[in-house]
Amino acid sequence: MKKIVITGGAGFIGSHVVRLFVQKYPDYQIFNLDALTYAGNMANNEDIAHLPNYHFIKADITDEAHIDALFTEYQFDSVIHLAAESHVDRSISDPLAFVKTNVIGTVNLLQAAKKHWAGHWEGKRFYHISTDEVYGELHNPEEFFLETTPYDPRSPYSASKASSDHFVRAFHETYGLPTVITNCSNNYGPNHFPEKLIPLMIHNILNNKPLPVYGKGENVRDWLYVVDHARAIDTVFHHGKTGDTYNIGGFNEWKNIDLVHLLCEIMDKKLGRTEGTSKQLITYVTDRAGHDLRYAIDAHKIMNELGWEPSLQFAEGLEKTVDWYLSNEKWLKDVTSGAYQQYYQNMYQGR
């Protein structure tokens, strides 16, 4: 029986990873360890919280003593590490928060795994989830990020993720910790916090609010449906080569403005609005400082070596995402009003 601690499991991607593992592997014990920052939402795991192999632990990965005590208590044999400060705009206004969680928190987890596994690496795995942003930005349309592309982080967020990746590799090289890293492109799908482009646009279209497009909307992102990312994480967790790195992406590049136009068209149809209504909400605003021009992942390594591939076309994924937000208006309202932060208190009252 495996005992896997998944950090950040109440967040966007983590919640999909937790759901997939809890449902697919009933003989694994899954521990969702999350500090429930503004980005953590217990409602994201509500549908699986009753399952006997699901366990929630409220903990901060920067809390050395608590993390150490949890490794002693639960004897985790694997870590799937997603907990992070994840929003680039927030990293620009508060870089230190990103150093604390993304760098110090990661090193803290590495230390705990090294101490508790104590050289008995058999059956152990420390899997670190990272981002394509560590590679910097692309200008030449023929170029893609490969696993061998040199790191060139340009925002405080990507600098903190690059630093954590380096520490994970350092623990593998120096101490032999059995690590693996994946670097993924932009995810989209249900449970995405409405500070990020796609859910923010859906929220604002629904509420007839301006759609803020940074700069000229020319920046390009490579979008992957979040469940496909979770499937890739399952594949790498079970079959990835120790010490290795795999890029994950959807071969699905979109200019921001084209993506916003597409969302406007889908939403007009779904909401029964006259074609062109939502596009009138588009507002060009001051560009993000140091805004990376283009990200594009070459995902051939994971496809060829491990047999993973994206399952969903973008049109289908985007429609599913819009449908999810339209049928989960309460989730959206609770998140934007702050009510979701009461969820944990109510759910765990008296325990």
Q: With CB under 6 A, what is the number of residues at the site for ligand NAD?
A: 30
Helices (H) and strands (E) in the chain, counts: 13, 12
Side chain identity at residue 33, one-letter code: L
Least spacing, CB of residue 85 vs ligand NAD, in Å:
6
Residue 299, interface with ligand NAD (CB under 6 A)? no
Residue 263, interface with ligand NAD (CB under 6 A)? no
Q: What is the dihedral of CA 162, 183, 38, 112, to 10 degrees?
A: -70
Residue 37, interface with ligand NAD (CB under 6 A)? yes
Residues that bind ligand DAU (CB under 6 A): 86-88, 131-133, 185-186, 196-197, 200, 212-214, 219, 221, 256, 288, 295
| Choice between 45 and 186, CB closer to ligand DAU | 186
User: 149 phi and psi, to 5 degrees?
Assistant: -60, 130
Least spacing, CB of residue 187 vs ligand DAU, in Å:
7
Q: Which residues are catalytic?
A: 132-133, 157
Least spacing, CB of residue 16 vs ligand NAD, in Å:
8
User: Which has the closest alpha carbon to 199: 321, 333, 330?
Assistant: 321
* Cβ contact 20:225 at 8 Å: no
Residue 145: strand pairing partners: 297
| Choice between 13 and 79, CB closer to ligand DAU | 13
Strands in 220-225's sheet, in edge-to-edge order, are 186-188, 220-225, 253-255
Tokens of 144: 């893609």
| Choice between 57 and 277, CB closer to ligand NAD | 57
In the complex, the residues that contact ligand NAD under the rule CB under 6 A are 7-8, 10-14, 34-37, 39-40, 60-62, 82-86, 101, 105, 129, 131, 161, 184, 186-187, 193
